[in-house]
C-alpha cells in the first residue's frame, strides 16, 4: 500500500513542491517505511546467490534511496517553510538578524533609492505637547497600528481620549468604522486611496440619481 502511494502520488507531488497536505507525522511514517524497505532489500542482496536476482534487487534499492533523498529534502524544506511562516505571522517580511523587525521604508533615505531596512513602527500620542504613552509595532504601516495602540492606551488609562487627531497615514475603512471611533471625536484625514474610492462612489451615486430623474 505504502509503496504504491509513494510512487504514484506522493513522490510526484513532492517533486512539484506541492505536497503540503502531508503532516510531519505522516512524513516520518513514510520515511520510516523507506528505511525499513532499504534495509530489507540490502539484506536480500547480501543473502542472495543469484546474479540476476541481486541485480533486480539493487535496482529496486536504488529507487528506494532516490525516494529517501526526495523525502529528506522535502522534510527539510517543509520544516524551514513552517518556521518562516511562524515568524512571519501576519507580516510580509522579517529580518534574519532580528525576527521581530520588519522591512520598511525609512524617512531617512540618504541614498534616495527607497531601500527597505529592518525596523519598528514607534507610536507616540501627545496632548498639549506631553507624551501620553508609547508603543512599538512590527507593522510597517500606521493603519494597522491604530486599533491595538488605542487598546493599549485604554488599558493604561481606563479610557481613550475624547479627541483623536491623526494624519492620512492612519486612514482606512476599518479605522473609520471600528467601535471605539463611534464614541469619540475623530479627525483622521482620508488617505489618497480612500478619497479616490469616495469620489468614484459619489460619481456612481450621482449617475444613478440622474438616470432615475430622466426616467421620471
Tens-digit pLDDT profile for residues 60-92: 899 888 888 888 888 888 888 888 888 878 777
pLDDT for 95 equals 82
CA distance 104 to 118: 6
| Of residues 150, 197, 142, the one with CA closest to residue 171 | 142
* C-beta of residue 168 within 8 angstroms of C-beta of residue 131: no
Write b or e for each residue in 138-147: b if 16 or more Cβ atoms lie within 10 A of its Cβ, otherwise e. Answer: bbbebbbbbb
- Mean confidence (pLDDT) of the chain: 78
pLDDT of 24 above 70:
yes
* C-beta of residue 63 within 8 angstroms of C-beta of residue 70: no
The better pLDDT of the pair 23, 96 is held by 96
Q: How many CB atoms lie within 10 A of CB 72?
A: 13
Helix extents (H) in 16-138: 24-47, 51-88
Whether the pTM exceeds 0.75: the reply is: no
Residue 4 pLDDT grade (very low, low, confident, very high; cuts 50, 70, 90): low
pLDDT of 141 above 60:
yes
pLDDT for 196 equals 47
pLDDT for 1 equals 46
pLDDT of 185 above 80:
no
* C-beta of residue 168 within 8 angstroms of C-beta of residue 189: yes
Residue 216 pLDDT grade (very low, low, confident, very high; cuts 50, 70, 90): low
Amino acid at each position: 500500500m505504502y509503496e504504491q502511494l509513494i510512487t504514484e502520488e506522493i513522490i510526484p507531488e513532492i517533486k512539484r513542491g506541492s505536497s503540503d497536505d502531508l503532516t510531519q507525522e505522516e512524513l516520518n511514517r513514510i520515511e520510516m517505511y523507506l528505511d525499513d524497505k532499504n534495509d530489507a532489500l540490502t539484506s536480500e542482496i547480501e543473502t542472495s546467490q543469484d546474479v540476476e536476482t541481486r541485480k533486480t534487487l539493487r535496482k529496486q534499492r536504488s529507487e528506494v534511496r532516490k525516494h529517501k533523498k526526495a523525502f529528506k529534502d522535502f522534510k527539510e524544506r517543509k520544516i524551514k517553510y513552517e518556521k518562516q511562516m511562524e515568524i512571519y505571522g501576519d507580516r510580509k517580511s522579517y529580518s534574519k538578524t532580528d525576527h521581530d523587525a520588519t522591512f520598511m521604508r525609512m524617512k531617512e533615505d540618504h541614498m534616495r533609492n527607497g531601500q527597505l531596512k529592518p525596523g519598528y513602527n514607534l507610536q507616540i500620542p501627545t496632548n498639549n505637547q506631553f507624551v501620553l504613552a508609547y508603543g512599538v509595532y512590527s507593522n510597517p504601516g500606521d493603519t494597522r497600528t491604530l486599533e491595538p495602540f488605542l487598546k493599549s492606551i485604554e488599558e493604561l488609562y481606563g479610557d481613550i481620549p475624547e479627541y483623536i487627531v491623526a494624519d492620512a497615514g492612519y486612514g482606512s475603512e476599518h479605522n473609520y468604522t471600528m467601535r471605539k471611533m463611534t464614541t469619540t471625536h475623530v479627525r483622521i484625514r482620508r488617505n489618497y486611496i480612500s478619497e479616490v474610492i469616495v469620489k468614484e462612489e459619489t460619481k456612481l451615486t450621482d449617475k444613478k440619481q440622474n438616470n432615475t430623474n430622466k426616467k421620471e
